[in-house]
A and B are shown apart, each in its own frame.
Chain A
Amino acid sequence: MSVRGKAFIAGAYEHPLRTIPNKTVQQVHAEVAAGALADAGLSFSDIDAYFCAGDAPGFGALSMAEYLGLQLTHIDNTETGGSSYLLHVQHAAEAIAAGHCHVALITLAGLPRSSGTGIGGAGRFGSAPEISFENFFGLSIVAGYAMAARRHMYEFGTTSEQLAEIKVAAASHAQHNPNAFLQNAVTVEEVLQSKMVADPLHMLDCCVVTDGGGALVVVSPEVARKLSRQSVPVLGTGFAVKHVNNGRIDLTHTGAVVSGPRAFAEAGLTPSDIRYASIYDSFTITVLTTLEDLGFCEKGKGGEFVSNGGLQAPFGKLPFNTDGGGLCNNHPSNRGGITKVIEAVRQLRNEAHPAVQVPNCQFALAHGTGGNLATRMGSATLILGQEV
C-alpha cells in the first residue's frame, strides 16, 4: 500500500527556547503539542492518534495520553532514536490511510541541557544484549561516529576540511535564526581549530546540546481540506534498520541506502527533484554519509559535494538544514529528528527565513538517523511536497 498523498502535515511547531529551566519534560511535550495544534488550526479534542518515542516519560504514549488528556483510537510508541519522529509520520500516514485515525499528534521534548545529561545522553542500553561487547571500551557516542568518519576518510579520501564545510553551511544558515543556539558564522579553519573530541571529529563537528522540543500534526486529506492553513502532503516514506549483521560491520554505509530509494519510489521522484533537504546532523559525518546514501551524489564523493557552498541556501546544489540544523540550531533531547520535518515544512510553505528560503521549493526531503551510525541504527526518509 502506498501512502502517497493520503496524509498531510497540517501543523508544525518548534519550541523557541534552547534552555528551559524549571519545567518538566511532559510540560514541554504539552507546550509543543499546543503549538502544533494552533499552527494547524485544530485543538486537543480533535486528536485521535498520538505518537511519541523514548524521550517521553513513564509509560510512553500511555502516560502521555493521560497527562495530556487525549481520547485516542490509535497510539504508537516506536523508538528508533533520532529517526523515530520521521518514522512516526510514516506510521501516522499508514494509520490514517487504513482509517484508524484522522488527526495524529507527534511530540518530542527533552531537557538534556538543564539536566546536565550532556551529549549523547544517558542512553537506554542497560540490559541490551550487546552491552558488554559493542557498547563498551570507552565508546562514547562521538567516538562511534568518529570511527565512521575515519573509515570514510580511509576508503574515499574524505578530509576534515570537507566535513567542516558542512558545519560552515549550517552556521551560515543559523545566523538568520534568532532562536538558534549558536548564531555565529564559522570558517573551516575555526572548525579544524576547535577542540578535538574524538579524532577525527572536533567540537564543531558535533551537534549542540539543547533543551526543547517539537510537534507535528498529521491529518487525513478530508481534515486537511477543511483547514485554512497550508498543509503539506506526505509523498514518500522509507525506513530501514541496519545492524552489525553478525560482526559484518560496514561503517561507510547507513540505512539510508534502503530508506531513500523506498521513499523516492513511493513519491515517484528522484534526488534531482529535491529542492531542499533536512539531513540529520548529529555530527558532520552523519550528513556526508547520508547524502551519498540517499543518492544526491556518488558514493565516496560526498566531500566534493559539500565543498564550495554545495549545501548553502538558497543557491547551493542542495540547500540543507536552513534552520541551522542540529549542528547550530537545536538538537532537543539529544536526538532532534522532528526539527528536520519542521524546517522542511517551513520551506514548502515558503516560511523559512527569506535569506535562506529556497525559491520554488516544490519538493523537500527530510531524513532522520537514530542510534549509532552504520552499526545499530534506524534510517527514516520522508519526501514532502507543496501539493499532491
Chain B
Amino acid sequence: MSFLPLADVEINNETQPFWDGLRNNTLLLPRCTSCTSVVWYPRAHCPVCFSTELKWEEMSGRGTIYSYSIVAKGNGRWKESGPYVVAYIELAEGPRILTNIVGVAPSEVQINMPVTAVFDSGDDARVLLRFTSVSSS
C-alpha cells in the first residue's frame, strides 16, 4: 500500500492479539468489561478503572484526523521516505492514536479529514496500522 518503512515492532504477551489482528486485516483493541473503556495502547489492564477483565473487540477502523505533520526528512530508516505524513487520528471508538496517512498527497491532508484503516504489509509477516482518506480508499 505505502512505501513507508515497516518496523520491528516489539510484540509481547500483552499486545500479541493486536498484531495478530492486523495480520488478519482487523483492528482489535481491548475493551474493559468493567468500565467499558477502549484501552489504548493495548495492555493487560484498564488504565481507567484498573480492572484486568478485558476483552478483545474489533474496531470500525474509521476515524478522523486530529492533527498531523508533514515530515520533510525522517531519521534512521525513514531518511529516504520523506516527505511523509505522521498524524494522530481519532478512532470512531474514541482513542486518539499515532499513525501515518498514506495513499493521499501530503498537501491534501487536513484536520478532521475522515480516514479508514489500512493494513500495511510488506513481503514478510510485519503489518502496520496506517490510515488513508475515506475518499481515496
Q: With A132-B11, A133-B98 in contact, do A249 and B70 touch (Cβ < 8 Å)? A: no
Q: With A133-B41, A247-B96 in contact, do A199 and B70 touch (Cβ < 8 Å)? A: yes
Q: Are A246 and B39 in contact (CB under 8 A)?
A: yes
- Residues of B92-117 at the interface with A, using a CB-CB cut-off of 8 Å, are 94-100, 111
Q: How many residues of B contact A (CB 8 A)?
A: 44
Q: How many residues of A contact B (CB 8 A)?
A: 36
A227 within 8 A of B: no
Q: Are B81 and A147 in contact (CB under 8 A)?
A: no
CA distance A95 to B68 in the complex (A): 43
- Scan A5-47; emit 1 where CB is below 8 A from any B CB, else 0: 0000000000000000000000000000000000000000000
In terms of DSSP, what is the predominant structure of the interface of chain B? Answer: loop
Q: With A137-B86, A139-B86, A247-B94 in contact, do A198 and B70 touch (Cβ < 8 Å)? A: yes
Q: Inside 8 A of A197's CB, which chain B residues have their CB?
A: 71-73
Q: With A143-B71, A199-B72, A247-B38 in contact, do A151 and B97 touch (Cβ < 8 Å)? A: no
Q: Are B96 and A140 in contact (CB under 8 A)?
A: no
CA distance A247 to B66 in the complex (A): 12
Q: How far is the CB of B101 from chain A (nearest CB, A)?
A: 10
- Residues of B41-84 at the interface with A, using a CB-CB cut-off of 8 Å, are 41-43, 47-48, 66-75, 78, 81, 84
B40 within 8 A of A: yes
Q: Are A154 and B10 in contact (CB under 8 A)?
A: no
Q: Are B69 and A143 in contact (CB under 8 A)?
A: yes
Q: With A132-B9, A140-B75 in contact, do A147 and B88 touch (Cβ < 8 Å)? A: yes
Q: Are A138 and B4 in contact (CB under 8 A)?
A: yes
CA distance A133 to B128 in the complex (A): 10
Q: Inside 8 A of B66's CB, which chain A residues have their CB?
A: 151, 249, 251
Q: Inside 8 A of B48's CB, which chain A residues have their CB?
A: 246
A130 within 8 A of B: yes
Q: Are A134 and B98 in contact (CB under 8 A)?
A: yes
Q: How far is the CB of B67 from chain A (nearest CB, A)?
A: 4
A131 within 8 A of B: yes
Q: Are A147 and B67 in contact (CB under 8 A)?
A: yes
Q: With A147-B86, A246-B47, A246-B48 in contact, do A134 and B71 touch (Cβ < 8 Å)? A: no
Q: Are A199 and B69 in contact (CB under 8 A)?
A: yes
Q: How far is the CB of B6 from chain A (nearest CB, A)?
A: 11
- Residues of B2-57 at the interface with A, using a CB-CB cut-off of 8 Å, are 4-5, 7, 9-11, 14-15, 37-43, 47-48
Interface centre among A118, A138, A151, A248 (most CB of B within 10 A): A138
Q: Are A146 and B69 in contact (CB under 8 A)?
A: yes
Q: With A132-B10, A138-B81, A147-B69 in contact, do A246 and B95 touch (Cβ < 8 Å)? A: yes
Q: Are B78 and A246 in contact (CB under 8 A)?
A: no
Q: Inside 8 A of A150's CB, which chain B residues have their CB?
A: 67-69, 111
- Scan A108-144; emit 1 where CB is below 8 A from any B CB, else 0: 0000000000100000000101111111111110110
B87 within 8 A of A: yes
22 chain-A/chain-B pairs, Cβ below 8 angstroms: A132-B11, A133-B97, A134-B41, A137-B99, A137-B128, A140-B74, A140-B75, A146-B71, A147-B67, A154-B111, A197-B73, A198-B69, A198-B86, A199-B71, A199-B72, A246-B37, A246-B47, A247-B38, A247-B40, A247-B96, A248-B96, A251-B67
Extra contacts, 13 of them, besides A137-B98, A139-B98 (Cβ < 8 A), are A132-B15, A136-B98, A138-B78, A140-B75, A142-B69, A146-B71, A147-B86, A148-B67, A151-B66, A246-B37, A247-B38, A247-B40, A249-B66
Contact surface of A with B, Cβ cutoff 8 Å: 118, 127, 129-140, 142-143, 146-148, 150-151, 154, 195-201, 244-249, 251
